[in-house]
């Protein structure tokens, strides 16, 4: 069973974590959230749900004005330049158990997110308090980094703060500085299975890609033939002929004027 907003708020109170809560209409962006709580003095946060090529997942939580370069972050994790991308909405619901627009550090509370790596912006520690959605984007709560740490430790998480704007060199003698954040215990999912090849009329195997190319090629030929016939008919009329007939065979086109 996924944690609800009310359960999370009750947990924070149980842990005696100081926070303030502000109800507002559903918001999907930091800019929309700022309209309701941006004038209250706290720092807003942006939260990314990412995946790598081996289907391992990451939540990156940062100050709204922190520049997060996914290519640089991917290299720092040891995944190469293109190793990270945004996770699909289906994974968001299945793993974090929250809808779109509700990703926050609190989302790792669910058991289904136990293998998700959490990277926190070190800038949170410099703020008096920061705003996050409590698993629902119709409310924002504000708390300081100490309160966030206390919550994360209560669910068995060791809070990890990093400089998300750093761009240290990565090479043979300079290993990726964030490689330890790659989930090592996460189950690695395989890619979607590739369609089995079909057989043509001779019994030879034809791949799905080859078959698609052949269909596309035949369609192109038919389109060309149609335009050619139309052109020849127009040419015939322009030359004053009464008409013409066409015969196509063995890949050749024969034109007979009447």
Residues 113 and 162 in one domain: yes
The pLDDT value recorded for residue 1 is: 78
Residues 242 and 116 in one domain: no
In DSSP terms, which residues pair with 117 in a beta bridge? 58
Comparing C-alpha atoms, which of 60, 63, 23 is closest to residue 43? 63
Residues 169 and 67 in one domain: yes
* 90 within some domain: yes
Comparing C-alpha atoms, which of 74, 160, 151, 153 is closest to residue 119? 160
* 198 within some domain: no
pLDDT tens, 76-109? 999 998 899 999 999 999 999 999 999 999 999 9
Residues 223 and 144 in one domain: no
- Residue 200 neighbours by CB distance under 10 Å: 12
Comparing C-alpha atoms, which of 120, 106, 118, 13 is closest to residue 62? 120
pLDDT tens, 106-138? 999 999 999 999 999 999 999 999 999 999 999
* 187 within some domain: no
Give the residue numbers spanning the domain of 231: 207-257
Mean pLDDT of 225-244: 45
Report the predicted TM-score, pTM, of the whole model to 2 decimal places. Answer: 0.72
* 192 within some domain: no
| Cα dist from 47 to 29, 30, 79, 237, whole Å | 10, 9, 20, 68
Token output for 125? 């520690």
**CA 78 distance to own-chain centroid:** 19
Residues 148 and 48 in one domain: yes
Residues 66 and 112 in one domain: yes
Does residue 194 have a pLDDT over 90?
Answer: no
The pLDDT value recorded for residue 184 is: 83
pLDDT-derived band at 247 (thresholds 50, 70, 90) equals very low
Residues 230 and 138 in one domain: no
pLDDT tens, 14-41? 999 999 999 999 999 999 999 999 999 9
Mean pLDDT of the chain: 81
Residues 239 and 158 in one domain: no
* 191 within some domain: no
Of 146, 181, 216, the domain-final residue = 181
Higher pLDDT among residues 204 and 144, named by residue: 144
pLDDT tens, 231-240? 444 444 444 4
| Cα dist from 115 to 3, 92, 205, whole Å | 17, 13, 41
Residues 68 and 129 in one domain: yes
In Å, the largest CA–CA distance within the chain is: 98
Count structural domains, the chain: 2
The pLDDT value recorded for residue 172 is: 86
Does residue 63 have a pLDDT over 80?
Answer: yes
pLDDT-derived band at 180 (thresholds 50, 70, 90) equals very high
Of 163, 181, 199, the domain-final residue = 181
């Amino acid at each position: 069973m996924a944690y609800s907003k009310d359960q999370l708020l009750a947990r924070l109170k149980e842990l005696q974590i100081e926070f303030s809560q502000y109800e507002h209409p559903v918001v999907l962006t930091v800019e929309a959230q700022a309209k309701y709580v941006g004038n209250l003095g706290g720092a807003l946060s942006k939260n990314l749900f990412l995946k790598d090529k081996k289907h391992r997942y990451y939540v990156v939580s940062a100050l709204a004005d922190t520049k997060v370069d996914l290519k640089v972050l991917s290299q720092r994790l040891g995944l190469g330049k293109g190793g990270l991308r945004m996770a699909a909405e289906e994974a968001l619901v299945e793993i974090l158990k929250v809808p779109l627009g509700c990703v926050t550090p609190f989302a790792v509370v669910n058991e289904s997110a136990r293998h998700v790596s959490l990277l926190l912006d070190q800038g949170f520690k410099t703020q008096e308090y920061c705003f996050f959605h409590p698993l629902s984007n119709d409310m924002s709560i504000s708390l300081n980094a100490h309160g966030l740490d206390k919550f994360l430790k209560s669910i068995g998480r060791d809070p990890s703060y990093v400089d998300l704007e750093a761009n240290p060199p990565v090479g043979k003698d300079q290993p990726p500085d964030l490689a330890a954040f790659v989930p090592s215990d996460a189950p690695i999912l395989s890619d979607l299975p590739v369609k089995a090849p079909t057989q043509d009329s001779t019994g030879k195997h034809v791949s799905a890609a080859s078959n698609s190319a052949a269909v596309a090629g035949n369609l192109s030929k038919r389109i060309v033939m149609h335009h050619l016939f139309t052109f020849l008919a127009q040419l015939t009329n322009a030359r004053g002929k009464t008409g013409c007939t066409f015969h196509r065979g063995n890949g050749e086109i024969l034109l007979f004027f009447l």
